[in-house]
Amino acid sequence: MCADVMVGDDMRTGISGGQKKRLTTGEMLVGPTKVLFMDEISTGLDSSTTYQVVRCIQQIVHLGEATVLVSLLQPAPEIFDLFDDVMLLSEGQIVYQGPREYVLEFFERCGFRCPERKGAADFLQEVTSKKDQAQYWIHNEKPYHYVSVPEFVLKFRKFHMGKSLKKQLSVPFNKRKIHKSALVFSDQSVSTSELLKTSFSKEWLLMQRNSFIYVFKIVQGIIVALVASTVFLRTRLHEDTEEDGQVYLGALIFIMIANMFNGFAEATLTLARLPVFYKHRDFLFYRPWHFTLPNVLLKVPMALLESIIWVVITYYLIGFSPEASRFFKHLLIVFLIQQAAGGLFRLVAGLCRTVVVTNTAGSLALLMIFVMGGFILPRDAIPKWLVWGYWCSPLTYAYIALAVNEMDSPRWLDQSIADGRPLGVAVLENAGVFTGKEWYWIGAGALLGFTVVFNVLFTLSLMYLNAIGKPQAILPEETDGFPENDFEQKKEPHIPQRTTVRATEPTSPNSIITLDKVLEQLRGRSPNTSDRSVGYAPGRGMVLPFEPLSMSFNEINYYVDMPAGDEDSRSNR
């Protein structure tokens, strides 16, 4: 595997399956863990790749003094020989645990021998099975009987490796032999500054790889800003009546909604990174805030750039107040809206953790924020028992700040309506918005507070919540004989012991087929061992009587199509 190669995901082609296995193993070895439990690491790999992975693990164990427990199903002989110890599990019990060199000796003492051309792993897999155990019985002078797993466990306790293991476990460990560095008092092997530096570098690299998304968002913002500017073009707007003021407030509402929707992309980006984060967090690679802080801070320049582009296009084309101070105050609120929206959707993704639930919850959150924002329903129209929702909506403060920043300008205050109130104050009061100048800074501070609260809650969700739908192992019930799905359990018919079926006009004694032998083969036993078997559990299934027939063929022809070139060369000979 080469450096700086993308791993890939569902949308991008990356490294192969074997390389992903090696990468995952490398990730786990980087952490402080000295004991690793690996289950079925050979799934999806060929024998050569599996051998390389296991060989690498063997070297790490020997050189790094680590402990690795690997679960493999029928590994190849060369892979089996790489292991130092073997643990054979069956029916929830440990049949054998000890050095690999003594495992075949143990079963040979129990009366079962591995054939020369049989792999040791395959033999160990079948020797405890009721269907396959009989073929390995070596005591021909003794009748075979099924040796159950509890019997193997008792025999292992009497085996010299079992006695040695029991003796080691019975002796308390001498604490004087403990090395001073054996205990780890910190879950971090790297300083916080190094972790932050690495996290910022990783986040910057991911932003570079996802540059298309940010470029697309900028282009999308430019298009939407141009559309908004042409809809609310300044040549069609005036500042003479209260209705004119309502049109300007409508333009501000559209700006808020567009920038609020712009943060929805954060939910998708966060969901795509959660599986890797949960793995790194569980293995103590870093703390959750090491992930959140770079994720938030490095998005600030992009959000600022999007806000500047949006405000530069819309502010003067729509015809807001021309003062420079109000332009920058308008820009600040738009930037804070984007920050609050990004924090909100990161929080929704961290809490929901699935695409379907996140999209549903995000849409519901936007609906509640819009309804309670004070522009769809004015503050006076909201029921008293729902006023708390008005104050909990980020768009409430954004709407107040933007409206006050615009209507507090001289061009709106210099004009008065019939009752003597300034035009800007009348527009704000009709919309149910506070009229004090201080409400601009209250709104800006509230948006900043919402941004901090959303990101803190997002960090806490990463700290205490786990991934949804972790796979759990399911242990099937072991059945005797054939699976129940294949055959129904039925009583076997009474069959005479020496019943024979003759073929039509047999010419030799070999043509006489004993039905007992056929039944024994159907049950998975060989005729040599069935006659001396004692206590063998009959297999499930239904036996059908049949009459063997002989088929003969006459004038069988075999044709091979010769290529045109070969025919020409043959004719030239």
259-296 pLDDT per residue, tens: 999 889 999 999 999 998 998 898 888 899 999 999 99
219, exposed or middle or buried, with CB in 10 Å at 0-12, 13-18, 19+? exposed
Per DSSP, the three-state class of 379 is: helix
Nearest residue to 225 via CA among 148, 309, 157: 309
What's the predicted TM-score (pTM) here?
A: 0.68
Handedness of CA 162, 165, 167, 170 (dihedral sign): negative
Q: How many CB atoms lie within 10 A of CB 328?
A: 10
Per DSSP, the three-state class of 498 is: coil
Which of the four pLDDT bands, split at 50, 70 and 90, describes residue 2? low
CA-CA distance, 447 to 393, in Å (whole number)? 10
CA-CA distance, 399 to 72, in Å (whole number)? 62
Range with the poorest average pLDDT among 18-22, 60-64, 369-373, 457-461? 18-22
CA dist 397 → 246, 315, 444 (Å):
18, 20, 7
pLDDT of the residue at 500:
37
CA-CA distance, 179 to 188, in Å (whole number)? 19
pLDDT of the residue at 301:
95
pLDDT of the residue at 507:
40
* CA dihedral of 109, 112, 114, 116, whole degrees rounded to 10: 90
Nearest residue to 228 via CA among 155, 311, 168, 296: 311
Return the bridge partners of 97, or none: 87
At 463, list the tokens: 């700290």
User: Is the model more confident about 513 or about 546?
Assistant: 546
Per DSSP, the three-state class of 500 is: strand
Percentage of residues in the chain having pLDDT higher than 70: 82
Beta-sheet pairing, 67-71 with 35-39: parallel
Summarised one tens digit per residue, pLDDT across range 228-248 is: 999 988 866 777 788 888 999
* CA dihedral of 558, 562, 568, 573, whole degrees rounded to 10: -40
Which of the four pLDDT bands, split at 50, 70 and 90, describes residue 251? very high
Per DSSP, the three-state class of 86 is: strand
Return the bridge partners of 98, or none: 86
Report CA Rg, the chain: 39
Summarised one tens digit per residue, pLDDT across range 170-181 is: 888 777 777 666
Average pLDDT over residues 307-315: 95
CA-CA distance, 206 to 408, in Å (whole number)? 43
Handedness of CA 131, 136, 140, 143 (dihedral sign): negative
Q: What is the mean pLDDT of the chain?
A: 82
Summarised one tens digit per residue, pLDDT across range 318-364 is: 989 999 999 999 999 999 999 999 999 999 999 999 999 999 999 99
At 255, list the tokens: 């700006």
